[in-house]
Amino acid sequence: GIGNIEEFPIVLTRMIAVGEQTGKMDDVLTRLAVYYESESATKVKALTTAIEPLIMIVMGVGVGLLVAAVILPIYHLTSQF
């Protein structure tokens, strides 16, 4: 059955086995869905929290380069007079 597939977590296979034995597969699958939805939401939130400073640094460098690209030519033009 599904318990022989190593890619599935042990909790998943055991919960499905219990659902089959008790005849309450719909309840078990609902609980598993809620559990994995909350777990994936937590992981996405952690990932976005980790990436946010990197995005800010990249945007800061981009804005700095844009400002330099505008200001430096103007500075060179005014320094020639």
The domain tally of the chain equals: 1
pLDDT, tens only, 7-42: 888 888 899 999 999 999 999 999 999 999 999 999
- 21: containing domain: 2-79
User: What are the distances in angstroms from CA 14 to CA 2, 7, 17, 63?
Assistant: 9, 14, 5, 53
Query: What is the model's pTM?
Result: 0.60
Quick: pLDDT tens for 37-67. 999 999 999 999 999 999 999 999 999 999 9
